[in-house]
Amino acid sequence: MSTTTTSTSAANRYAVHRDWQLEFPVMDHAEGIYLYDTDGKRYIDGSGGSSVVVTIGHGVKEIPEAMYRQAQKFSFAPAHLFSSAPTLELAKKVVGLLPEGMRDNSKVWFSLTGTDATDEAVRLARQHWVEKGQGSKYLIITRWQGFHGNAISTAGFHGHTWRRRVLTPLFVDHPHIPPAYCYRCPFDTKLPECALRCARELENTILQYGAENVAAFIAEPVVGAALGAVPAPDGYFQEIRRICDKYDILFIVDEVMTAWGRAGKMFGIENWGVNPDIIATAKGMTSGYTPLAAIIAHNRVWEPLIANHSPFRAGHTFSANAISSAGALAVIDYTLKHNLVENSARMGEYFLERMKEKLLPLPIIGDVRGKGLMLGFEIVQDKATKEPFPAKMKMSSKLQTEAFRRGLVIFSCTGSYHGDRGDMILLAPPLIITKEQIDEVVDILVASTETLSR
């Protein structure tokens, strides 16, 4: 990847990209876990389309074929007047795949993006309480170093510091508790002596604000962009569920990244054996072939709206799109047919072992972690003290550039240390990856890291 300091490069002259200084290569085609640019260079998709999107791999012909069959019938219908066969079939399939306590006892609302999904999950939580006559319940408790979408509304309840700061004071702020982050425990303790204090902090915060004012708690099973694939410890979400039940608060799980096999289960929260009240999901549901998102809520959450004949107050022009629904059906069928959830669990274990063996011993790697094929590692200046590099050094971005130069796409993250320092890398290859391909990824990561360590 070449770099230039000219902001009027061909890539940026008319289209706005994510960086003003980079000359972006133009992608030509993709197949399996590989991407190819117009110069013929091959790249391994090591992060599922950069931000944990691609599950079934690239170039699966069944998906566009299913979408084309639907497009031959019709491409768009107004969702406030019509439904569609693909949308109805998709809702039924999704509900049949849910965690046991929600399975066949939930309803699905379809939207467009992951940000829509988390925003609409919060909308549903608020409307649920209003329709029940408990309109004082509006606060959403969430965690620092958690990310729930790139909009002004979601900035008020996510905890990704650098994304929030630029938008202050445009959003409504909500209470935050510390993350479940054992490598950098906010309470300077360890399991099991800590007795999951990070989870118990939810109860303290509820009491401080008053349970009568709290609508919901939202969290990612494995934190993605804000912490580089940090899973909660065993027992954490069981304690969260207990506290939410005790104080009559809805539990929202952000599965925008972790669902559809990514974390080694169909839904990431299944790793903890817990049933949420609402699930927000997107990305892997269509594997990036088309935009689609959903919120899935237990029937008891919808019941007050139904009883009051009150439609859910959300939605966009392209919500519940029939073509995207057809694509999602094909992706889910492909996932089940090829046992990709199981492969994610197996290959994830192997990937983590290889990272511990070859990457963790390097002097600037402080931690490796993950669930299934959602993995990450932390870059530190001092392994003993866990001291991060100064933010201005942009070490995760430098490592991303080194890996990209060697033909590997990874996702750089920052903010693990108090929100404004701390470099991490997020890895999320397509769930079809093999051991041999994992070995190649690890070798590139090692070579790239060794270059930065010099």
Mean of the per-residue pLDDT values for the chain? 95
Q: How confident is the model at residue 258 (pLDDT cuts 50, 70, 90)?
A: very high
The pTM of the full predicted model, rounded to 2 decimals, is: 0.95
- The more confidently predicted of residues 57 and 80 is 57
Same domain flag for 295 and 272: yes
CA distances from 300 to 105, 106, 249 (A): 9, 8, 13
Same domain flag for 138 and 264: yes
Pairing between β-strand 42-45 and β-strand 34-37 as defined by DSSP bridges = antiparallel
Q: Taking residues 69-82, report their average pLDDT.
A: 94
Q: Taking residues 227-242, report their average pLDDT.
A: 97
Q: Is residue 420 part of a domain?
A: yes
190 and 233 Cβ atoms separated by less than 8 Å: no
Q: Decide if pLDDT at 11 tops 70.
A: no
The residue assigned the tokens 């007050």 is 304
* Pairwise CA distance, residues 107 & 91, whole Å: 7
Q: Is residue 397 part of a domain?
A: yes
Same domain flag for 132 and 266: yes
pLDDT of amino acid 20: 82
Domain boundary among 337, 371, 397: 337
pLDDT of amino acid 23: 83
293 and 285 Cβ atoms separated by less than 8 Å: yes
* Pairwise CA distance, residues 181 & 187, whole Å: 10
* pLDDT tens digits along 384-425: 999 999 999 999 999 999 999 999 999 999 999 988 899 999
Non-local (6+) Cβ contacts of 337 within 8 A are none
Q: Which domain holds residue 280?
A: 64-337
Non-local (6+) Cβ contacts of 266 within 8 A are 97, 259, 260, 341
pLDDT of amino acid 403: 97
pLDDT of amino acid 10: 61
* Pairwise CA distance, residues 178 & 146, whole Å: 10
* Pairwise CA distance, residues 140 & 428, whole Å: 29
pLDDT of amino acid 62: 98
Biggest CA–CA distance in the chain, Å, is 66
pLDDT of amino acid 2: 41
* pLDDT tens digits along 287-334: 999 999 999 999 999 999 999 999 999 988 999 999 999 999 999 999
How many domains does the chain divide into?
A: 2
Same domain flag for 306 and 211: yes
* Pairwise CA distance, residues 449 & 243, whole Å: 42
Same domain flag for 162 and 276: yes
